[in-house]
Structure 1
Amino acid sequence: MSSPASICLLRTSAIGDVTHVVPLIHTLQRAWPQTALTWIVGKLERKLVGDLPGVEFVTFDKGAGWAGMREVHAALRGRRFGALLQMQVALRSNLLSLGIKADRRIGYDHARSKDLHGLVINERIPARTGEHVLQAIGSFCEPLGLKQTEVRWDIPVPDEAHAWAAQQWSDNQPTLLVSPTSSHALRNWRPERYAAVMDYAVTRSWRVVLIGGPSPMERSMADAILALCKQAPLDLTGKDTLKKLMAMFCRAQLLLTPDSGPMHMANTVGLKVLGLHAASNPARSGPYSDRRWCVDKYDVASRNYFGRPASEIPWGTKIEKPGVMDLIEVDDVIERFEAAASSLS
């Protein structure tokens, strides 16, 4: 199959899902180096991936509503792509795609479609179940005649970000980063349980660094944890950027976090991730490369809330129910921490 002259990729959010698009970019560039790639991405997400070489970025400001859509459409006026990869099924993204002209409009299979997705596409990726989100996104090249056989990120991290991270700690003491807040509140663990694990890590001679964005929810969670810690961690909440966060991931040994964007950012640089999974299935949305260090209570949650094992509920079901994360005990996390720590020696 001949290569298209141009491809438009539409995946605006969220941070974790945007990292899953990067291997697809590399797959397309390796197979078809002459094909022009344009990626419509969210304003925040562009700060993470917007310096990928060989890609034109068009920013979609979700907060601007219809005006944000009009800005994207104006930026692409008069252009027609060989293919549009419509990798987001939310209604807003489906409406956004209507202003993008393309000969081939590739979207999700019927089972993964919603919000009128089928009306804005004319081709679909293969219908599969049991896939990680990254694999589903990678399959968008298959209708074009390609196959994603390698997963590579290489998201650029500027020297100044590495320099900033080096200023935060400079010795070789093993470092546990704790990013406690997901944008999905029901995926968050209790502050007192984070504090207990963080204090335990200090007794094992680890440095503990509390991280997170500047939002009120993240600051509130950080303050609640700090108030409960017997040993004060280094608190960098709200003090980094996405690139500085990536640089910290390059320097640390382990990240403790619920299912969230930082989980997937850390995975791209090979940092071990102690993910907390009860509300979501780590096989679908956990750290792609290595889930050995995660706590997985998803099956327990399925039995508790739905009365049947996870194998009998639809793939991708989120169990975001009040109290679901309480299924993860402090001892569960300490056990995985010790396993990860032992693997370093």
Structure 2
Amino acid sequence: MEKYFKHKLVDLFLKVYTKKLDFTQSRVEFNDLEEKNFSNIIIYSTTALGDFLMNTPAIHAIRNRFKDAFITLICHQNFKSYLEHGTDWDKIITWNNKVNHIPNLLKEIKKSGTPDLAVILHSHNPYDYLSAIMSGAKFVFRDNYNENKLIEKWLTNYVDSFRGHVIQRKLELIKPLGCETTSKSCIEMRTPRRVNSIKKNNIHIGFQMGASSSERCWPVKNFVRVASQILNSDNTARIVLIGAPNDIYLQQEFMELLSSKYHSRIDQLIGKTTLIELTQKINKLDLLVTGDTGPMHIAIALKVPTISLFVTAVPYATGPYQDPELHKVILGAVMPLNYKIHSHIMDVISPDKVISEINTILHNRE
């Protein structure tokens, strides 16, 4: 209910601000354009790292379509340093999605002139499209995930009922701009930082044990069982633990459960790397075992093989989309009887299944 009132207030404000009942006239104006050439574009991607990486194919397509345009990327503060040297945008502005920070956001946008086009790939409504219209953008494209008439009336174009991968959703949204969206390379994610090629003498397998919610975390005991099997069968292999600072407790549990004879072959990197450093570390891996996480998307972008574990998340929407030969999705079913058998829903994926897939991937790389 609170969200509805926010949308209603924004709707009333925009009617006064624009002196119009809605933004639908922009659709007619867009279709009437003989040449859809835009010189100043703002792109919103202000949520999680995984969201941003899945937005990179669309951002790259926009850059390729409008090579001479000045493109401003509006992102989350946490990713500013990671994105600073990206080649698909000319300027970065950070925004926390809060209404009280809109004046500063508009000030920063206007420093580069009034935008012709706003593309909202992933952000929080209603303040994203509010700020886009207040910036003076003539056309506003937004990826909507739910039908909402109070949002739709203020958009030039939107997607809200697409069943498929998130990457393809974004490409469908920008297709009317004349962007190339059909070639195989169009769906490839990109990291904004260049990474160095790595030469290794032994196998490095990464474990991303944390996730956005506990129900998406494969239990630590299962990671320990996989690690023990791999380290026992290959005395040169190393396990690399990666993750955010709030995942350190998972690393501590892992080390407590793992036999001490293997401790020297564990790289404990959870909470110790910046995003730039994390990207370099993932690039060194031969394989990453992970849930539906930001690091999974980094690995995919870097063409590092992954084994991704999905039970409550939906792989057809957020799992690997490019290079299917490099990535194995293990999908577990949610069923009432599973709750009787397993203490955690992710336990429906067995360590033996993961070990088998690891062995297959490593064998195929030889």
TM-score for both structures, normalised by structure 2: 0.77
Alignment of 1:97-112 (within 5 A): 97=132, 99-108=134-143, 112=146
Query: Are 1:61 and 2:96 counterparts?
Result: yes
Q: Could you tell me whether the CA contact under 8 Å between 1:178 and 1:208 is conserved in 2?
A: yes
Query: Are 1:243 and 2:276 counterparts?
Result: yes
CA distance in 1, matches of 2:133, 2:345: 38
CA distance in 2, matches of 1:85, 1:34: 17
Unaligned 5+ residue runs, structure 2? Answer: 1-34, 338-342
Question: 2:18 maps to which residue?
Answer: none
Cα–Cα, structure 1 residues 325 and 96, in superposed 2: closer, same or farther, change >3 Å?
farther
Please list the CA deviations of residues 64-92 of structure 1 after superposition, one character each: whole Å capped at 9, or x if unmatched.
Answer: x4444332122124743221112236335
Q: Could you tell me whether the CA contact under 8 Å between 1:125 and 1:143 is conserved in 2?
A: no
Cα–Cα, structure 1 residues 214 and 6, in superposed 2: closer, same or farther, change >3 Å?
same
Question: 1:261 maps to which residue?
Answer: 294
CA distance in 2, matches of 1:200, 1:96: 53
Q: Match of 1:294, SS?
A: strand
Question: 1:316 maps to which residue?
Answer: none
CA distance in 1, matches of 2:138, 2:67: 20
Question: 2:364 maps to which residue?
Answer: 343
CA distance in 1, matches of 2:130, 2:256: 45
Deviation of 1:9 after TM superposition, in Å, equals 0.9
Let me know the Cα RMSD of the aligned residues.
2.7
Misfit runs of 4+, over 6 Å: none
Q: Could you tell me whether the CA contact under 8 Å between 1:85 and 1:107 is conserved in 2?
A: yes
Deviation of 1:258 after TM superposition, in Å, equals 0.9
Cα–Cα, structure 1 residues 139 and 46, in superposed 2: closer, same or farther, change >3 Å?
farther
Question: 1:155 maps to which residue?
Answer: 191
Query: Are 1:43 and 2:74 counterparts?
Result: no
Question: 1:296 maps to which residue?
Answer: 331
Cα–Cα, structure 1 residues 188 and 24, in superposed 2: closer, same or farther, change >3 Å?
same
Q: Could you tell me whether the CA contact under 8 Å between 1:26 and 1:152 is conserved in 2?
A: no
Q: Match of 2:201, SS?
A: coil
Alignment of 1:1-345 (within 5 A): 1-55=35-89, 56-61=91-96, 65-77=98-110, 79-88=113-122, 90-91=124-125, 93-94=128-129, 96-97=131-132, 99-108=134-143, 112-113=146-147, 116-125=150-159, 127-129=161-163, 131-149=164-182, 150-157=186-193, 171-205=200-234, 206-215=237-246, 218-230=247-259, 231-232=262-263, 233-290=266-323, 292-297=327-332, 300-301=333-334, 303-304=335-336, 323-345=344-366
Q: How many residues align?
A: 314
Cα–Cα, structure 1 residues 198 and 119, in superposed 2: closer, same or farther, change >3 Å?
farther
Q: Could you tell me whether the CA contact under 8 Å between 1:264 and 1:288 is conserved in 2?
A: no
CA distance in 1, matches of 2:363, 2:167: 29
CA distance in 2, matches of 1:266, 1:114: 35
TM-score for both structures, normalised by structure 1: 0.82
- Counterpart amino acid of 1:4? F
CA distance in 2, matches of 1:209, 1:220: 16
CA distance in 1, matches of 2:69, 2:188: 19
Question: 2:30 maps to which residue?
Answer: none
Deviation of 1:97 after TM superposition, in Å, equals 4.0
Cα–Cα, structure 1 residues 226 and 31, in superposed 2: closer, same or farther, change >3 Å?
same
Deviates further, 81-90 or 190-199: 81-90
Please list the CA deviations of residues 178-217 of structure 1 after superposition, one character each: whole Å capped at 9, or x if unmatched.
Answer: 11101222111111111111111212322111111222xx
Question: 1:314 maps to which residue?
Answer: none
